[in-house]
Chain A
Amino acid sequence: MCLAVPAKLIQHDGQQGIVDLHGNRLPVNTMMTPDAQSGDWILIHAGFAIERLNPEEARETWALIEEVERATCNSADQNDTQQHNTTAQPARGGIS
Chain B
Amino acid sequence: MSLTRACTDSLLQCLRVAAKAIAHDVAFMEVCGTHTTSAFRCGLPSVMPPNVRLISGPGCPVCVTSQGDIDRLIDLGSRRDVILCTYGDMLRVPGRQGNLENARVHGSRIEVVYSSMDAVKLARTQPDREVVFAAVGFETTAPATAAAICEAQRLNVKNFSVLASHKRIIPAMRALLTDGEIPRIKGFLCPGHVSVIIGSEVYQSIVDEFGVSCVVGGFEPPQLISALVCLTELVVNNKTALVNQYPEAVHAKGNRWALALLEQIFEPGDARWRGMGNIPDSGLVLRREYQRFDAALRFNLPEPQEREPAGCICGKVISGAALPVQCKLFARACTPISPIGPCMVSSEGTCSAWFKYGPSKQLKNPRSHSDELLEVQS
Where the two chains meet, the residues of A that have a C-beta atom closer than 8 Å to any C-beta of B are 1-4, 29, 31-34, 43, 45-48, 50-51, 53-58, 61, 63-65, 67-68, 71
Does B222 lie at the interface of the complex (its beta carbon under 8 Å from any beta carbon of A)? yes
Nearest CB in chain B: distance from A39 CB, A: 16
Contact A43 B193 (CB under 8 A): yes
Comparing B139-147, B181-189, B231-239, B358-366, the segment that makes contact with chain A is B139-147
Does B210 lie at the interface of the complex (its beta carbon under 8 Å from any beta carbon of A)? no
Residues from chain B with a CB closer than 8 A to the CB of A33 are: 255, 257
Does B32 lie at the interface of the complex (its beta carbon under 8 Å from any beta carbon of A)? yes
Contact A2 B140 (CB under 8 A): yes
Q: Is the interface of A mostly helix, strand, loop or mixed?
A: mixed
Nearest CB in chain A: distance from B375 CB, A: 15
Nearest CB in chain A: distance from B249 CB, A: 5
Q: Digitize B182-204: 1 where CB-to-A-CB distance is under 8 Å, 0 elsewhere.
A: 00000000011110110000000
Contact B249 A53 (CB under 8 A): yes
Contact A34 B257 (CB under 8 A): yes
* Closest B residue by C-beta to A69: B4
Contact B147 A53 (CB under 8 A): no
* With A64-B3, A67-B2 as contacts: A1 and B144 at CB distance below 8 Å: no
User: Within the assembled complex, what's the spacing in Å between the Cα atoms of A53 and B194?
Assistant: 15
Contact of B143 (CB < 8 Å), options: A48, A53, A64: A48
Nearest CB in chain B: distance from A16 CB, A: 10
Residues from chain B with a CB closer than 8 A to the CB of A3 are: 34, 193, 348
Contact B196 A50 (CB under 8 A): yes
Contact of A46 (CB < 8 Å), options: B32, B144, B250: B144
In order of increasing CB-CB distance, the 7 nearest A-B pairs are A47-B115, A57-B248, A58-B248, A2-B193, A32-B258, A57-B247, A4-B193
Contact A64 B220 (CB under 8 A): yes
Contact of B261 (CB < 8 Å), options: A32, A46, A47, A54: A32
Residues from chain A with a CB closer than 8 A to the CB of B2 are: 67-68, 71
Does B95 lie at the interface of the complex (its beta carbon under 8 Å from any beta carbon of A)? no
Contact B143 A1 (CB under 8 A): no
Contact of B257 (CB < 8 Å), options: A32, A45, A68: A32
Contact A47 B116 (CB under 8 A): yes
Does B243 lie at the interface of the complex (its beta carbon under 8 Å from any beta carbon of A)? no
* With A2-B138, A4-B193, A46-B141 as contacts: A31 and B3 at CB distance below 8 Å: no
Residues from chain B with a CB closer than 8 A to the CB of A54 are: 247-249
Contact B220 A61 (CB under 8 A): yes
Where the two chains meet, the residues of B that have a C-beta atom closer than 8 Å to any C-beta of A are 2-4, 7, 32-34, 59-62, 87, 89, 114-118, 136-138, 140-141, 143-144, 147, 191-194, 196-197, 218, 220, 222-223, 247-250, 255, 257-258, 261, 346, 348
Contact A47 B144 (CB under 8 A): yes
User: Within the assembled complex, what's the spacing in Å between the Cα atoms of A51 and B220?
Assistant: 18
Contact B4 A1 (CB under 8 A): no
Contact of B32 (CB < 8 Å), options: A2, A57, A68: A2
* Closest A residue by C-beta to B254: A51
Nearest CB in chain A: distance from B220 CB, A: 6
Residues from chain A with a CB closer than 8 A to the CB of B32 are: 2
User: Within the assembled complex, what's the spacing in Å between the Cα atoms of A61 and B191?
Assistant: 18
* Closest A residue by C-beta to B259: A32
Nearest CB in chain B: distance from A28 CB, A: 9
8 extra interface residue pairs, beta carbon distance < 8 Å, beyond A2-B192, A29-B147, A34-B257:
A1-B34, A4-B193, A31-B257, A48-B144, A50-B140, A51-B255, A61-B222, A67-B2
Residues from chain A with a CB closer than 8 A to the CB of B249 are: 43, 51, 53-54, 58
Contact B4 A46 (CB under 8 A): no
Contact B257 A67 (CB under 8 A): no
User: Within the assembled complex, what's the spacing in Å between the Cα atoms of A64 and B1?
Assistant: 12
Contact B223 A45 (CB under 8 A): no
User: Within the assembled complex, what's the spacing in Å between the Cα atoms of A43 and B138?
Assistant: 16
Residues from chain A with a CB closer than 8 A to the CB of B138 are: 1-2
